[in-house]
Amino acid sequence: MIGCDSGTTDFGPHLLATGRSHFSRASVKRDLGIMIEQARRTRIPVVIGSAGGAGSDSGVAWMSDIVREIADGLGLHFTLAQIHAEQSKHAIHELLAQGRVRALPRMEELTGEGIDSSLHMVAMMGAEPIQEALSRGADVVVAGRASDASIFAALPLLAGHDPALCWHAGKILECGAAAVVQRTAPDSMQAEMHASGVDIEPLRADYRCTPQSVASHTLYENADPFKLIEPSGVLDTLQTRYDAISDRAVRITGSRFHEAAEYTVKLEGARRIGYSTVIPGAIRDPLIINQLDAWLATLDGAITARLQQTLAPSDTYTIATRVYGRNGVMGELEPVSRVEGHEVMLLWDVISGSQELSHSIAAALTHMAVHNPIPEWHGLISGVAFPFAPSEIDRGPVYEFHLNHVLVPESPTALFPIEMTAV
């Protein structure tokens, strides 16, 4: 089979919130065209998971449309399975009422309000819905939100291979060539299933895998490097052996898979938190930089008071100030508190319930910031350098991930309806 993990939460919550893809239609069509053409030539299935980036219904529809266009262009005919992962508010309300929703650690229990404020919610399928589609004769599977590894584990599991090896192969394959020694550009990876092990080998001729590079991949994007949690259980790599079988291929043996007592699927959701206007501005005056906290506090007090009297009470907006040159990158995690450079950049982010209000607040902020006084200078100062005119940049709606919960479905396939069509 050929598989592809098309999704990620890495780019942020906007993909799920808006249903748009990060990558362009042209680039997805190019990659998918190669996969489908080669797979049909050799009569092997193609499995695409988390279609369109977030794996919502619009992503599945968008990707399926591209699949049909490719088939038309190449004169190919096959069976397409679309697996939906998007969840309606009604469905999640029902699961909540049935006690089938659990909060993950450090998360509050899901409420009706949490459901209702969602723009889109997706459940992350395991291998079973994909297996169902393959069993029903799918040549190309376009799945909504799916666990990364299940995209690749589904078929070998169906063929009866050791579940631990199927899941471990899936975890390696989901990032393509990421498990090679030195990945200079994105590329693909091959896994060959055997009775006692799985052999991992990069497809690009000048890439190579070593036991360390393959072992290291279980670290990637995973909080615990020895346990990978899947809907049906946990892949345990504590006793895994990684052996070189050539100068570029590695055999994995000894992984274990512990079946979960309860089958769970992760629920993801995104909601709009408001509309943002940002202002970049920079300071060069050492007198201001040396008392930056006091200067920012004065400005904050002044703008809050002014807005309270004019545009907006303080509970209708937020202003986040990032100070580049101090802790703009790390925020509250930054251990270095002093400012050492001779200039700093401020990035103000105003978020409120409408673009118009955010823009108005930002315009007031710009004006007040530039003249925000310090005791050393007498008279009206101009204390901020704005690199752009207009200085305020409207960013449109902004979002957040607000769900980090799991669902206990009635069956592994219950939440993931499958549509089979002849293309």
Partner 1 sequence: MRRRLGELAQLIRSKNAGPFWLTFDVMFDDPEIYRQVRDQEVLSVERVAACYRQDPASVLVFAHDTALAIKVSFPRPVSSGSARDTDVFGGQQYAPLMDFTVDLSEATATRS
Closest approach of partner 1 to the CB of residue 318, in Å: 6
Q: Determine if 397 is a binding residue for partner 1 (CB under 8 A).
A: no
Helix (H) or strand (E) holding 165: helix 163-173
Q: What is the rounded CA–CA span in Å between residue 132 and residue 219? A: 30
Helix (H) or strand (E) holding 308: helix 292-309
Bridge pairing between strands 241-244 and 250-253:
antiparallel
Q: Judge whether 71 and 168 are in contact, CB under 8 Å.
A: no
Our CB check for partner 1 shows the closer of 225 and 353 to be 225
Quick one: which of 14, 40, 168, 248 contacts partner 1 (CB under 8 A)? 14
- Give CA torsion, residues 49, 149, 131, 266, to 10 deg: -80
DSSP code of 104? P
Our CB check for partner 1 shows the closer of 133 and 172 to be 172
Quick one: which of 62, 78, 167, 242 contacts partner 1 (CB under 8 A)? 242
Q: What is the rounded CA–CA span in Å between residue 83 and residue 122? A: 12
Helix (H, G, I), strand (E, B) or coil at 115: helix
Cβ of 233: how many Cβ atoms within 10 Å? Answer: 19
Q: Determine if 394 is a binding residue for partner 1 (CB under 8 A).
A: no
Stretch in the footprint of partner 1 (CB under 8 A) among 34-42, 88-96, 375-383, 397-405: 397-405
Q: What is the rounded CA–CA span in Å between residue 172 and residue 180? A: 10
Q: Determine if 401 is a binding residue for partner 1 (CB under 8 A).
A: yes
Each residue 312-351 as x (binds partner 1 by CB under 8 A) or -, in order, gives ------x-x-x----xxxxxxx-xx------------x-x
One-character DSSP codes across 13-50: THHHHH---SS-HHHHHHHHHHHHHHHHHHT--EEEES
Closest approach of partner 1 to the CB of residue 310, in Å: 23
Our CB check for partner 1 shows the closer of 74 and 330 to be 330
Bridge pairing between strands 140-143 and 79-83:
parallel
Site residues (CB under 8 A) for partner 1, limited to 66-125? 104, 106-107
Cβ of 226: how many Cβ atoms within 10 Å? Answer: 14
Q: Determine if 254 is a binding residue for partner 1 (CB under 8 A).
A: no
Q: What is the rounded CA–CA span in Å between residue 16 and residue 189? A: 27
Our CB check for partner 1 shows the closer of 113 and 332 to be 332
Quick one: which of 58, 147, 240, 264 contacts partner 1 (CB under 8 A)? 240
The first and second tokens of residue 261, run together, are 């007592």
Half-sphere exposure of 213 (CA within 13 A, CB side): 22
Site residues (CB under 8 A) for partner 1, limited to 159-218? 211-212, 215-216, 218
Q: Determine if 10 is a binding residue for partner 1 (CB under 8 A).
A: yes
Each residue 266-285 as x (binds partner 1 by CB under 8 A) or -, in order, gives -------xx-----------
Compute how many residues bind partner 1; rule: CB under 8 A.
46
Distances (CA, A) of 266 to 68, 122, 230: 30, 8, 9
Stretch in the footprint of partner 1 (CB under 8 A) among 5-13, 26-34, 49-57, 288-296: 5-13
Stretch in the footprint of partner 1 (CB under 8 A) among 95-103, 139-147, 184-192, 224-232: 224-232
DSSP code of 206? T
Stretch in the footprint of partner 1 (CB under 8 A) among 50-58, 223-231, 277-285, 384-392: 223-231
Our CB check for partner 1 shows the closer of 27 and 222 to be 222
Quick one: which of 1, 9, 89, 418 contacts partner 1 (CB under 8 A)? 9
Distances (CA, A) of 317 to 333, 355, 400: 24, 11, 16
Q: What is the rounded CA–CA span in Å between residue 219 and residue 376? A: 52
Quick one: which of 225, 353, 373, 397 contacts partner 1 (CB under 8 A)? 225
Our CB check for partner 1 shows the closer of 20 and 93 to be 20
Residue numbers at the binding site for partner 1 (CB under 8 A): 9-14, 104, 106-107, 211-212, 215-216, 218-226, 240, 242, 273-274, 318, 320, 322, 327-333, 335-336, 349, 351, 398-402, 404
